[in-house]
Amino acid sequence: MPPRTVYLETFGCQMNELDSELVAGRLRQLGYRFTAEAGEADVVLYNTCSVRERAEQKVWSRLGEIKKRKADEPSLVVGVLGCMAERDGEAMIDRMPVVDVLCGPGELDKLPELIDNAVRTRASLASDGSGRRARRSARQVALQGSASRRSGTLAAAGDTLELLDLSRTISPVDEGRSRSAYVRITRGCNKFCTYCVVPNTRGAEMHRPPENILDECKRLADSGVIEITLLGQTVNHYRFEHGASVSVGGVVQPQKGRTYKGAHHRDALSAAGVTTFADLLRRIHDEIPAIRRLRFVTSYPRDFGDDVLEVIRDSPRICRYLHVPAQSGSNRVLKAMNRGYTVEAYFEFLDRARAILDQPELGRPLMISGDVIVGFPTETDADFEATIDMVRRSRAKNQFIFKYSPRPGSLAFDKIPDDVPESVKRQRNNALLAVQGEISDEISREQIGREFDILVEGLSRAEKKRRGVDIKPGSGMVGITVGGAPASAKPETDIAEAAGLAQFSGRTDGDQIVFFDVDTTIQAPDDLIGSIVRVRIDNADKLALQGTLI
Ligand code: 5AD
Ligand code: SF4
């Protein structure tokens, strides 16, 4: 069969961006080519997100658009990957027969086989020339269902999950390419916050063996990566019990946070004991000095021990940045959300984290970011006032603010009517954005006069616009495989054009964005991108800092 060309578009979170990168690497190894133009592809894949309705609507409209094209090109293969596939299951194909491949986030290692089968099936449908039959789906499906939540199938689910991460192909970072990468440490979630679909789509919480994580980080560092962001839905819950791990087919299995009862082989690789999140951070930091920035998202506000904070404090290359969503400032709403902590406990955590980690005098202020949901069912004006107070008191550098979106598959969906009118949600959203805007502005201004190490990401968006450089979604540091861009694409389309004075952007280790000018006749952009430079902050607004290279 001739080589196939794939278009892969990613929606949603960083976990999806990483999944897309891994899938693209596997497919490329198997001879598939990638294109940034859906119209040029024989295989069109959407890696989807179910967390909010808006992301889903985009996918439905993409599928609607591609229907027409498929009528003319019966050999075209369309695949839906990720959380929508897992949640909607085969009902999605019934609603949209244009979909040939469905693959849940826990089954992505099977994707090449599914695509191969679909390509063959579609080719045969196309060759028999029957337009009517050609509209039928090739129906290749791999979904996890609730398998990972049944302890009897935990090892098998873990086996599958670990294989995808282990298959990561790591090629040397070439000039201009991103030197920042994600590494998964935990999959799934056991929290069951009532608004959230993730425990349903990504399955039970499982932790990857530390040796596999370290090996992946080392290989990334050897290839030129200097910033690693560890990923988990509740990343600080990471905990690997060595004695409890099993080895199936030579692969050391990931495990749940507690002992896996069905373990039948002792893990030959590791001594008895537990690797905690603090241990893992320390090992990556100490054993891989080439990683100049180590970060992690997303933290759960509960169960965050001083041991982790102390490792961060004592490890110069671990970033002073914590993404710890509070979701609401009302204890009544937090309870209805099943978050398992009070707003007082959240503040206790922030105070403790700041006492240990906030060191502005060393150019390392602790930066917090969070998520807030407004308009959760039954949320009153008084609850919302409490959320405004929480946001003021938290002094996060930014808050991601979401209007509650009822999600089929979440616990609240069937049980709690979505009773806050859209107009009220919108009002609260805007009010909170305004409050946070003031705080972000204040925090930015506090940085004026300070000096920071900045990881240079590339030309600023404004500079690219001025130069007429094509800006692709997700290009820049996260440009490994985001949007439709092939993994090999250079994020800066034409660096040579940047000769003369140019505005660059980068980030502090507290994740603040910094703009600064560089005379590119003196400093080559290719040498700058991905390096760490020292910048003094001269000016600031709520979105970013502006500074001068020193
Ligand atoms: N509606 C609105 N926001 C949601 N989030 C998760 N589920 C929903 C929902 N049903 C938000 C939470 C979470 C972030 C990733 O998305 O704030 O932290
Ligand atoms: Fe969803 Fe809550 Fe798990 Fe986060 S902790 S993924 S919000 S269930």
Read off the CATH number of the domain in which 273 is found: 3.30.750.210
- Phi first, then psi: give them for residue 275, nearest 5 degrees: -100, 115
CA distances from 5 to 8, 20, 65, 68, 115 (A): 10, 15, 19, 19, 12
pLDDT class of 496 with cuts at 50, 70, 90: very low
Residues 83 and 165 in one domain: no
What does the mean pLDDT of the chain come to? 87
| CATH code of the domain covering residue 109 | 3.40.50.12160
| 81 Cβ closer than 6 Å to some ligand 1 atom | no
CB 167 within 8 A of CB 28: no
CB 189 within 8 A of CB 199: yes
Q: Which residues touch 416 (CB under 8 Å, ≥6 apart)?
A: 194, 336, 377, 378
Residues 473 and 411 in one domain: no
CB 536 within 8 A of CB 390: no
Residues 273 and 166 in one domain: yes
The model's pLDDT over 207-244, given as tens digits with 9 standing for 90+, comes to 999 999 999 999 999 999 999 999 999 999 999 988 76
Residues 245 and 172 in one domain: yes
Number of domains in the chain: 4
Is there a domain that residue 71 lies in?
Answer: yes
pLDDT of amino acid 261: 36
Is there a domain that residue 82 lies in?
Answer: yes
Q: What's the rounded mean pLDDT across residues 84-93?
A: 94
The label of the residue with tokens 């398998």 reads 147
pLDDT class of 346 with cuts at 50, 70, 90: very high
Residues 248 and 172 in one domain: yes
CB 525 within 8 A of CB 516: no
For the ranges 161-165, 344-348, 512-516, the lowest mean pLDDT is seen at 161-165
pLDDT of amino acid 138: 81
pLDDT class of 160 with cuts at 50, 70, 90: confident
Residues 229 and 260 in one domain: yes
CA 323 to ligand 2 centroid distance, Å: 13
The label of the residue with tokens 């899938």 reads 23
Task: Residue 275: name the closest of 214, 203, 226, 220 by CA.
Answer: 214
- For the chain, give the percent of residues with pLDDT over 90: 71
Q: What's the rounded mean pLDDT across residues 51-73?
A: 93
CA 300 to ligand 2 centroid distance, Å: 9
Residues 304 and 346 in one domain: no
| 402 Cβ closer than 6 Å to some ligand 1 atom | yes
Rounded CA separation 444/540 (Å):
6
pLDDT of amino acid 264: 38
Angle in degrees, CA 34, 40, 46, rounded to 5 = 60
Q: Which residues of 313-323 are buried (b: 16+ CB within 10 A; e: fewer)?
A: beeebbbbbbb
Longest distance between any two alpha carbons in the chain, whole Å:
73
Final residue before a domain boundary, out of 303, 319, 335: 319
pLDDT of amino acid 139: 87
For the ranges 119-128, 140-149, 467-476, the lowest mean pLDDT is seen at 467-476
Q: Which residues touch 319 (CB under 8 Å, ≥6 apart)?
A: 293, 294, 295, 509, 510, 511
- For the chain, give the percent of residues with pLDDT over 70: 84
CA 233 to ligand 2 centroid distance, Å: 6
Residues 160 and 287 in one domain: yes
Can you give the residue range of the structural domain that contains 302? 152-319
Mutate to test the pocket of ligand 2, among 184, 189, 190, 402 (most ligand atoms within 8 A of CB): 189
Tokens of 155: 């090892």
pLDDT class of 169 with cuts at 50, 70, 90: confident
CA 106 to ligand 1 centroid distance, Å: 21
Mutate to test the pocket of ligand 1, among 373, 418, 422 (most ligand atoms within 8 A of CB): 373
pLDDT of amino acid 450: 95
Residues 272 and 235 in one domain: yes
Residues 405 and 461 in one domain: no
Residues 261 and 340 in one domain: no
pLDDT class of 474 with cuts at 50, 70, 90: very low
Residue 316 above 60 pLDDT? yes
CB 330 within 8 A of CB 369: no
pLDDT of amino acid 167: 87
The model's pLDDT over 4-45, given as tens digits with 9 standing for 90+, comes to 999 999 999 999 999 999 999 999 999 999 999 999 999 999
Q: What's the rounded mean pLDDT across residues 334-344?
A: 98
Q: What is the pTM of this model?
A: 0.89
Task: Residue 295: name the closest of 342, 236, 241 by CA.
Answer: 236
Ligand 2 is surrounded, with C-beta below 6 A, by 189, 191-193, 196, 198-199, 233-234, 300
Tokens of 384: 């919302």
CB 495 within 8 A of CB 524: no
Tokens of 143: 């979904």
Angle in degrees, CA 414, 415, 416, rounded to 5 = 110
